[in-house]
Amino acid sequence: MRVLVTGGAGFLGRQIVAALRARGAAVAAPARSSADLLRPEGRQAAVAAARAPTLVHAAWVTRPGVYRDSPENLDWVAATLDLAGRFAAAGGRRFVLVGSCAEYDWSLPPGTKWTEERPCRPATVYGAAKLLAWTMLAGMPLAVANARVFWPIGPHEHAARLLPSMLRAVRSACPLDIGPAALTRDLLDVRDAGGAIAGLALSDAEGVVNIGSGIALRLDRLAAAVGDPQARLLRLGARPLPAGEPLHMVADAARLGAITGIAPRYSLARTIADSRAVSAAAA
């Protein structure tokens, strides 16, 4: 199996590439310097060089503090659809979009876990762009799947993301304002997330598949696991949630398990330890 992966150098993309190679796939993951996907010639170069029947599209705008409402999201919708068209014209058969839980309706009662049947009504430009790309991909002559990712964490995260910020605050004894104690998220080690998406890519499953652990983790428990059980440095509740963001977001990962047979391998303690080592080395 040969697979083209866009965004293969990113936080999640590099783990998708590693997991595909570990499963015996030949992976083409062109760098932006040789295939800028926001330019037509870059998209054509990526497709032509890869000669792959399967494409995992992980490239997108993801910068913390920017991506949620960036107008660049719309550029990525257009680029994604053009890329898919070129891929299909070159003989490509399977397209896996790396989507997001931001596509779902955040205003509905949270329930216990979010299934793939949950209605979609994005509250951010990012979520709306991902949903628009997915909706339009479904009409193309390709087998398409949407790997709807929840909250990956782990080594090599951007320094401004939650876990690295918490680790830095504890290490430097510099207080950090964070969200409410009851904030509950589905935090999946990025290496497990990459493995899950690789498993989906190498399957024949189509449609939406949640990429999550199915495990609910409160922010106060994460703070304790990071090393601040009394919340002296990690000031719980001092930072409000972004507008419209729900308190509870946990994936129903049953379909993912049924398709791939994959279960999370990395414990929270291991994820934090590995992230701490990478964060300290970069300091």
Per residue in 101-138, pLDDT (tens digit) is 999 999 888 777 999 999 999 999 999 999 999 999 98
Per residue in 161-175, pLDDT (tens digit) is 999 999 999 999 999
Q: Residue 30 falls within a domain, yes or no?
A: yes
Dihedral of alpha carbons 85, 130, 249, 198, sign: positive
Name the pLDDT band for 280 (thresholds 50, 70, 90): confident
Q: Residue 235 falls within a domain, yes or no?
A: no
Q: Residue 258 falls within a domain, yes or no?
A: yes
Q: Residue 78 falls within a domain, yes or no?
A: yes
Consecutive H or E run containing 80? helix 72-89
Per residue in 1-39, pLDDT (tens digit) is 899 999 999 999 999 999 999 999 999 999 888 899 999
Task: Report the domain count for the chain.
Answer: 1
Strand pairing report for 217-218 and 184-185: antiparallel
CATH number, residue 105? 3.40.50.720
Instruction: Give the chain's mean pLDDT.
Output: 95
Amino acid identity at 76:
W
Domain enclosing residue 208, as ranges: 2-158+187-216+247-266
Q: Where are the alpha helices (DSSP H) in 151-241?
A: 162-172, 190-201, 219-226
Q: Residue 257 falls within a domain, yes or no?
A: yes
Q: Residue 40 falls within a domain, yes or no?
A: yes
Q: Residue 229 falls within a domain, yes or no?
A: no
Is the pLDDT at 283 greater than 70? The verdict is no
Q: Residues 228-255: what's their mean pLDDT?
A: 92
DSSP for 183-197?
-EE-EEEHHHHHHHH
Q: Residue 41 falls within a domain, yes or no?
A: yes
Burial class (CB in 10 A: 0-12, 13-18, 19+), 116: middle
